[in-house]
Structures are given as structure tokens and as C-alpha cells.
Structure 1
Amino acid sequence: MTEKLAPIVLFVYNRPWHTRQTLEALANNSLAKDSVLYIYADGARTNASDDVLKEVYEVRRIIREKKWCGEVHIIESEVNKGLASSIIDGVTDIINQYGKIVVLEDDIVTSVGFLQYMNDALQLYQNVDRVMHISGFVPVTTGADRLLETYFLRFMSCWGWATWKRSWDQVILDIDYLFKTIPLQRDYKAFNLNGAINLYRQIEDNYHGNINTWAIRWYSTIFLKKGLCLYPRYSMVDNIGIDLSGEHCSSPDDRYNVELAKSIKVEPVKIKESKYGKEYLRRFYIFGTDSSRKKRIRNILFRIYKKIK
């Protein structure tokens, strides 16, 4: 690695256990000691309970506990900005300084080779305008062994990711515009992985004020710009926050459990969407993992058995 490493930005709030797991894993990365880490700690809500205030305080104690990377900067907010504003503002600030960035939230446990993968990909594709995003997460389902070591999708994953200033400068935050524009696209079906998942619903929920999220805006931008996202064959991150503890997590989901790859070799691949990669992802969202699919089949058979008994 001859180029300067990308800065890492971590967003935390009130989940001490998750934050510690995320930081411990990051510190174990092979490039951690040579990397700069910025930690953005959001402030408590004005009506926060005593328990939440204690959790916010504990998180702020943990992030100061040790030198998690070669250089660590802590930015604490006195007010509650919320996850969407925190990420948009933090990413914009740091990427304007460095031109590239690696982004984590407080529930993303990384592989020991995560930073190597991200920095290799950022360097290799830095001048390829159509490549807008590097994804660290990929779910597990049948056929993973047939994926290339790395491949491109138009679909975006925000669980451990990286990008460049040239891409982030294009981000469309206007939810009214996205609400009206996305359905008018000739390839609108591709936005929802040809019916495998309803992502436009997130735009609708943001538009109607039910939620306020950043990731759907970023994904929509990539989609409208015909951008591509690089993926690894096997996941470099594990989301440990799908346990009802997160701001936008409404139910636990074990479909996303993965075994981390220690390393991914980043070499040039064709700058186009992988047909097999897209079908692989569609298969996951339709059927889930092998174990979750078997569980659903057992439940169906059990219901049939009860009816005929």
C-alpha cells in the first residue's frame, strides 16, 4: 500500500456493548495502527431517560479507553442530531478533507482484513467514475462459492462501506425529488431487485415523515447515476445490531448472520454489473439463507400437518 490510507469514520450513540465490539474488531485490523480514526458521538435526546443518559456516557468513556487506531479524533455533539444527519454531516466533513473515506456504525464488526480490502479497492478504482461505492457486507445463501472474488452490483450495502469525494459530491438528499423521480426510471424494477425487496418503501416512509434515513438517499443517488458498487465474495463485516437495539431496527433477524472472511484479493474486474451476483442477491432476499429457508419449509409443513391431522 503506497498511497495514504483512507480515514475511518465511526458513528456512535448509546450502545456501549456494540461500540466496544466494533472498536475491538477494528483495532485488530492489520492496517489499524497506520490509520486515522474519527469517532462521532451523538448527543442524548432532550427527553432521554436516565438509562439512556448513562449509556451515552458509557459509550463516551469506551471510545476514550484506548488508542484504537494510529490516530484517533473524537467529535462529540452536545445535541442529538440523529443518525441520518450525523452520518451525512460527518462523511461530508471528512471526505472534503481527505478525498476518500471508510464508514462504520457502532454495530459493525469487521474482519481483520477489512481495512486492507477497503483501501485496496479505493486505490484500484479511484479514477473509475462509474464505481461509486465499496461494500463490505454480503449475505450468505446457496451459490456463494460461484461468486467472483470481487464483483459489481448496482445495489448498495451500507454495513461497512467506502467511497470517494467525486462520488459523495453527487449525493441527492432531496427526498421529494427522489420520491417523484425513482418510479419514472425505465429500469425502476432494478431498484427493487426485480421485486425481491421493496426499497422504494423506504423512500415513501422518508417522504411521509415516518422515518429519517440517509442510506436510501445514497443508494438512490447511485442508482440514478448508473453507478456501481464493488462487493466481496464473502463478507468482511458482521452487523451485530439487528437485535432491537438500533435506531431503525424493529425486529431481530438472523438471516444476516455471516462468517467473516479473513481477506479478499482486490484485482481488476469488468466494470459492469455481475448477472450472477445480482441473481445471488435476489435469491437471498427471496429465499433467505439455507437455514432460514429450511426453517420456513418446516413451518409450512407443520401448518399443513396440523390442518390435515
Structure 2
Amino acid sequence: MTQFKLTTPVVLIIFNRPDTTAKVFEAIRKVKPLQLFVIADAPRLDRYGEVERCMAARKIIDQVDWNCEVLTNYSEKNLGCRERIYNGLNWVFSLVESAIILEDDCVPHLTFFRFCEELLERYRNDERIMAISGDNFQFGNNPIESSYYFSRYPHCWGWATWRRAWKNYDNQMQLWSKLRGSKWLENILQNSRAVQYWSEIFQKNYQGFNSWAYAWTFACWNYHGLTILPKVNLVSNIGFGQGATHTSSINKFANMSVEEMIFPLTHPPSIIRNIPADNFTEKTMFSGGLQIQNVHCKVCGSISHKFDNAKVLNKYNVDYFQCSNCGFVQTENPYWLGEAYTEAIASSDVGLVSRNQNFSLITENLILNFFNANDKFLDYGCGYGLFVRMMRDLGLDFYGYDKYCQNIFYQGWEGEINREQKYEIVTAFEVFEHFINPLAEIEKILQQTRNILFSTKLLPPDNPRPNDWWYYALEEGQHISIFNKKALSVIAQKFKLNLCSDGESLHLLTEKSLSNSEFHSIFRIGRYKPEKRKESLTEVDYEKVTEKKLKNQQQLTELDSENIAERKSKNWQLLDFKVLIDGVFFQINNTGIARVWKSLLEVWSKDSFAKNILVLDRAKTAPKIPGIKYRVIPGYNYGRIDADRQILQQICDEENADIFISTYYTTPILTPSIFMAYDMIPEVLAKNLDNPSWQEKHR
């Protein structure tokens, strides 16, 4: 700290506590800001001794003994905390572009000031960032490698911001009247308890509760703003207890110890919100404090009583509730799901392939015997799409839908979820236990069909607790809804459907009237006349794919006859779009596809098309070709596919990419992508270029 010279203005907000004000002032004195703004409210005349305490607090400011411009904004009448800070910060940001802000009970570590100043400069023009805070309330949980992370929570016990961000603050929260009846909070929080909690907070604040901080949170969320939080706690709030405005009771956030921030700062590789850290904050600091003992059943609406408590993901103590009427078991609001789904497919799901093989034969049997086999079908929550591919190979026109998982096996056969598209049957294997709101999800599926074939293990008759039954899958944290036969019957009755079940794991909600014996017959594989079986779609699908490739080739041939070189050059000049190419294969394996891409880049580098290209250089492994632009990004990690997709989407957003070209199983979440798989590499196939099958597949 001896070499650091603070140039950022500091704001000190004081009121009636000279004792705490003196401690904060001492911290400010040690860094000697060149500008000090002081905001003070007037005393409340009906409070004994407050006039003297307010004057004593203001007197401390007279102790400035360094080269400093002191600007004061002292109210002549009491405005209250919310109005005083609102007006005061408006005054500050009418004079300066950015500032570090401390209230009279927030004592910072000296490295807090440098932390704020460096990041104020780094993110000065990045409107995604609305604040920088010195607060860390993780208590050692969710450790990070970088010096800070990004959060939705704008903690304000020692913080900093810019004029560009503060201008979004609305002290009256006028937009709340329009947003409170919408899905706005649900879309942000995705947690019903948190939605209830924050809805009550914002409504209370809208009606006049004396807190500017909640109105600031509302502004940050409304503008999708993130706050930077440090990896260690840099500020201690010493103002809890008697005399405090909003923190009158002592709790674990009071008088927290502070630590030194190490410089130079280690910056995160991309701007992505830390979901596990935010979930922990929501759980421990906000809505998790409601201590709800009984909840309403998500299936029948009856009271559900606390059933048990178990450790999820080996770290979170989670309450389980069981319905007193239908027996359905649900967890408390699953704040940990962001962490549980770092991988879309649980690593413990070792039976995935054999299970899909078994389900494919059972589903074929059901369709051929009782449904229209010439119609379309959808696999909901299809994961990588293995089941979809199996069903198409059996001749049934299946499509897949999964909004979380990477499409590997059903490219070209993505299903649509809308009211117009209908399916004869929707399958949902090992999906129901993942539903946060089962009825809403089932209703969504029923917009597509009146027949749902699904699998989920039913709670055994002896009603085992989470630690006594493997299907709760505590170590994965994804099974949050556990059904029994009665709960499924309630669902069937609600949607006016019939329920067929094997009593253990496979079930059918249907508008058809099937007897138990008819439903159980589907488990006897092959129980249909041979002539009923459909011809495999494998060859048809192959022809469809190759026909598309051939059509593309014909278009290129037509361009050849029109002087393709001249036309291409002219088109590149007219088009203004950006192509991101993931150079992951330069990192993973220097084989065929790496050579192909190197050759392509060398050709494009000599063309005006090069200005449209940006190559993502994984861990600095891409060959540097003059004329080609590069962006260095972290190396690819096989174990973090979904995190990698988030990072790629972030980069696509930052670079305004129009299309993403993948050279491996790496694609962003939303940006349109072209996928070139590794099976183009003859070395991987153990083939050579003269092999007929390789030539046919890639001609």
C-alpha cells in the first residue's frame, strides 16, 4: 500500500454516530484521498441527544489534515436514510464520474481502496457492471482462483460505482408497479421462496420503507447489472446493535474480520455470474432465513410437513417435505441447482446406454400395438439424444428436446415446443424427478400431446428417507421431486387422463383406455405381428443429410460458373458479419482437422473475408497466421462442457458474433453454430483417404 496513491473521490455518509464515524474516518485518512465528499442528514428533533451526536459526527470531518478538497452536503432537515442518500449521491455524481462510498459504520481494509480504484477504471465503460463492493459473505464457501467474482447482489457495506450506473437508480421504484404482476422475478431468481421474499421486499420498499439499498438492488436487477465482489472480505460493518437504523440486532454478518487483497489482481477470464456463490448468499442472507416449516404440496396443494434433512452435494443441509395427502416428496426451494447442473448429465448415471436401449424396445412395443406409428413423437429432456437416434433407427419419426444439454445424436431432428406442433406421444425418461414445478412442466408437455410415457422411480411402500434410498441421489443434488402411485393418480385426475403404471418406474399418462394387462404387455418385447414393425429410418436420415450436403455442393458449383473468385471478393465486401472459429483442435490433437483448418485459415488470410473472422486461440495453441485475428481464451477441459458453453456464449455476445464454427464438441448456448465433428479425421478412424466409406461419407 505504500506505493499506492488514491486518486478516486471518496464519499463518506454520516449521521449520528461519532464513535463509528471516527473509525471509518481513520481508514480514509490513511489513504489520503484528494477529494472527500461528506453527506449528512439532519437530526430528528424528537430524539433525545441526537442533535449533539450529529454535530459531533460532523466535527470529525474538521480533522482532515492532508491535501484534500472537502465538499459537504449537510441537510438542514431530516430526510430519512433513503431520501438523504439518494439526494446526496445525486449531488456527488453531478460533480464526478465515479466514487468510492462508505457509510459511517463500514470500516474497510486499506487494500479496499486500491481494489475499487483499479476496477472502476477497468470496467469504466462496461455497462454490464453496475457496482464494486468490498463485501464477501461466503464464509470460506465457494472459493475462487481469481481476485473477485460477479454477483447479482449489490452489497453496499463499502462499495463504488459510476455516474453511468447511478443514473439508473429510481428512488420511487416506479417500474415495480408494472413488473410485480409479471414473471420478472421468477425469470431472475428461478426459486419460488426467493421470489416470494423479494416480492415482499420490493413491495414494502415501493410503499415507502426507508431503505435506499433495496431500491438500488431493484435498479441493478432491472438493468441486468452485475456487482463485483472480492474473494476475501474487505469491509467490516461495526454498526450492528443499539443506534443502528436497519441493523439493530447482532448476527453473523456483524463485525466480520477483514483480509488483505493481494495485488496485482487476478481477473476472471470472462464476465459470468457466480451461481453457486449467489445461491449461498440467497440461502444464508436473504430468503433462506424464512425458516418455513411447512409448505404446500406441488402436486395436490395440501400441507407438506418436514420429512427429513439430508446433506446434498456433500455440503448443503436440505429439508425434505412430504405431502400429508398424496405422499409426494419435495425439497425446500432448490437454491443449489446451479451448482448441481455444472454437468447436464450426472456423472453417476452409469446405466444411461443400457437404459435407453431397454426403453427404446418398450416404447416401440407400445407404439406399434396401441398408437399411430406413422405420426411424430418427441423425447422431452432427451439429454444428448441417444434415445432419439435409437428410435429413428427403429423406424419411428422421433424428435428431441432438451434446453440444457448439448445436442450430439439428434442434429437435424430438434423438436419444437409450441402450441401448433403436436405429437402422438411425448416420452420423458428420468426427467420427472428433476422438475422444480411438476404441474407446470406437465402442463407444458400436454400442450404438445395427450400421451406421456415416462420413467421415474416410485417411492417404496416403506417410505425410506433420503439417506436410506439411492434414488434421492444426494451426491448429485438433481432429484428434487419424488413421486408415489397416489401422487401420479392425482396428476392424472387433474389433467383428465388415465394412468397406467408398472408400479415401480415406468408410467403412462394417456387419453386412451388401456387395461393393466395391455400396458404390462409392452414389457414382453416383440409382442406384435412382424408386419407391424417399421422400416428403419437410418438410411432415409442418411440420404437426407447427404442430400443437403450435395445441394450445398451444387450451389458452390453454380457459383464456380459465375467466376467464384470475383463474386466471393465482392460479397465479402458487402457483408458485415462476424464468424468465430473455435481453434480447440489445435489444442487437443494435431491431426487431420487441425491441418484442414490451418489450410483454410491460410487461404482466407489472403482474402478480404479475413476481416470477418476471429479465431478463438485455446491456451495459445493455434498457429499464428498473418492477416488472421485471434482471441486467447482458456484451454478446453473435457470435464466442464457446460461451463465452456457459457464462456463461449459470453465471448459471442462480447464480439457480436453472427455465427460460431465448432471444430469439436464445443458450441455456445444461443449463437447459431456449425459443427464439424472429429470423425472427419482419418487418423481417428484408423483409415486413410482412399478408404471408400470415408470418401463416401465426406465427399
Q: Structure 2 CA distance, aligned partners of 1:54 and 1:212?
A: 23
Matched, 1:78 2:76: yes
What residue is the counterpart of 1:273 in the other structure? 273
SS, match of residue 36 in structure 2 = strand
**Preserved contact between residue 193 and residue 282 of structure 1 (Cα < 8 Å):** no
Q: Structure 2 CA distance, aligned partners of 1:66 and 1:95?
A: 22
**Preserved contact between residue 147 and residue 277 of structure 1 (Cα < 8 Å):** no
SS, match of residue 127 in structure 1 = coil
Matched, 1:158 2:176: no
Q: Structure 1 CA distance, aligned partners of 2:217 and 2:276?
A: 20
Q: After superposition, give the CA deviation of every residue in 1:39-82 in whole Å (9 maximum; x if it has no partner).
A: 11221123232x11221121122221333773322332221122
What residue is the counterpart of 1:46 in the other structure? 45
**Preserved contact between residue 10 and residue 33 of structure 2 (Cα < 8 Å):** no
Aligned-pair CA distance for 1:242: 1.5
Q: Structure 2 CA distance, aligned partners of 1:18 and 1:183?
A: 42
Structure 1 range deviating more: 73-82 or 182-191: 182-191
Aligned-pair CA distance for 1:195: 3.5
- Relative to structure 1, is the Cα distance of residues 24 and 272 closer, same or farther in structure 2, using a 3 angstrom cutoff? same
Q: After superposition, give the CA deviation of every residue in 1:272-307 in whole Å (9 maximum; x if it has no partner).
A: 2112322342453348xxxxxxxxx9xxxxxxxxxx
Matched, 1:173 2:171: yes
Aligned-pair CA distance for 1:37: 0.9
What residue is the counterpart of 2:215 in the other structure? 217
Q: Structure 1 CA distance, aligned partners of 2:177 and 2:117?
A: 34
Q: Structure 2 CA distance, aligned partners of 1:256 and 1:192?
A: 29
Aligned-pair CA distance for 1:84: 1.3
- Relative to structure 1, is the Cα distance of residues 142 and 112 closer, same or farther in structure 2, using a 3 angstrom cutoff? closer
Aligned-pair CA distance for 1:174: 2.5
Aligned-pair CA distance for 1:100: 0.9
The residue type paired with residue 199 of structure 1 is W
Aligned-residue CA RMSD in angstroms?
A: 2.8
Larger Rg: 2
Q: Structure 2 CA distance, aligned partners of 1:27 and 1:250?
A: 28
**Preserved contact between residue 189 and residue 195 of structure 1 (Cα < 8 Å):** no
Matched, 1:226 2:224: yes
**Preserved contact between residue 151 and residue 229 of structure 2 (Cα < 8 Å):** yes
Aligned-pair CA distance for 1:184: 1.9
Q: Structure 2 CA distance, aligned partners of 1:66 and 1:173?
A: 32
SS, match of residue 164 in structure 2 = helix
**Preserved contact between residue 24 and residue 68 of structure 1 (Cα < 8 Å):** no
Q: After superposition, give the CA deviation of every residue in 1:233-260 in whole Å (9 maximum; x if it has no partner).
A: 1111111112132222342223444221
Aligned-pair CA distance for 1:120: 0.6
Aligned length: 283
**Preserved contact between residue 142 and residue 276 of structure 2 (Cα < 8 Å):** no
Q: Structure 2 CA distance, aligned partners of 1:78 and 1:14?
A: 14
What residue is the counterpart of 1:293 in the other structure? none
What residue is the counterpart of 2:115 in the other structure? 117
What residue is the counterpart of 1:302 in the other structure? none
Aligned-pair CA distance for 1:122: 0.3
**Preserved contact between residue 142 and residue 277 of structure 2 (Cα < 8 Å):** no
- Relative to structure 1, is the Cα distance of residues 160 and 69 closer, same or farther in structure 2, using a 3 angstrom cutoff? farther
Of the three residues 9, 12, 18, the one matched with 2:11 is 9
Structure 1 range deviating more: 183-192 or 233-242: 183-192
The residue type paired with residue 122 of structure 1 is L
Q: Which has the higher contact order (CA 8 A, sep 6+)?
A: 1
SS, match of residue 242 in structure 1 = coil
Aligned-pair CA distance for 1:190: 3.9
Q: Structure 2 CA distance, aligned partners of 1:34 and 1:176?
A: 36
What residue is the counterpart of 1:18 in the other structure? 20
- Relative to structure 1, is the Cα distance of residues 278 and 15 closer, same or farther in structure 2, using a 3 angstrom cutoff? same
Give unmatched runs, 5+ long, in structure 2. Answer: 290-316, 318-699
Q: Structure 2 CA distance, aligned partners of 1:40 and 1:142?
A: 34
**Preserved contact between residue 12 and residue 102 of structure 2 (Cα < 8 Å):** yes
- Could you state the TM-score of these two structures normalised by the residue count of structure 1? 0.81
Q: Structure 2 CA distance, aligned partners of 1:255 and 1:4?
A: 28
The correspondence of residues 186-265 of structure 1 with structure 2, limited to 5 A, is 186-188=184-186, 190-191=188-189, 195=193, 198-209=197-208, 211-265=209-263
Identity %: 26
- Relative to structure 1, is the Cα distance of residues 8 and 145 closer, same or farther in structure 2, using a 3 angstrom cutoff? same
**Preserved contact between residue 141 and residue 284 of structure 1 (Cα < 8 Å):** no
The residue type paired with residue 279 of structure 2 is E
- Relative to structure 1, is the Cα distance of residues 117 and 183 closer, same or farther in structure 2, using a 3 angstrom cutoff? farther
What residue is the counterpart of 1:67 in the other structure? 65
Q: Structure 2 CA distance, aligned partners of 1:27 and 1:136?
A: 18
The residue type paired with residue 78 of structure 1 is E
The correspondence of residues 102-141 of structure 1 with structure 2, limited to 5 A, is 102-141=100-139
- Relative to structure 1, is the Cα distance of residues 190 and 68 closer, same or farther in structure 2, using a 3 angstrom cutoff? farther
**Preserved contact between residue 124 and residue 268 of structure 1 (Cα < 8 Å):** no
Q: Structure 2 CA distance, aligned partners of 1:137 and 1:232?
A: 7
Aligned-pair CA distance for 1:92: 1.3
The residue type paired with residue 60 of structure 1 is R
Give unmatched runs, 5+ long, in structure 1. Answer: 288-296, 298-309
Structure with the higher fraction of residues in helix conformation = 1
Q: Structure 1 CA distance, aligned partners of 2:97 and 2:260?
A: 27
Q: Structure 2 CA distance, aligned partners of 1:7 and 1:141?
A: 30
What residue is the counterpart of 2:673 in the other structure? none
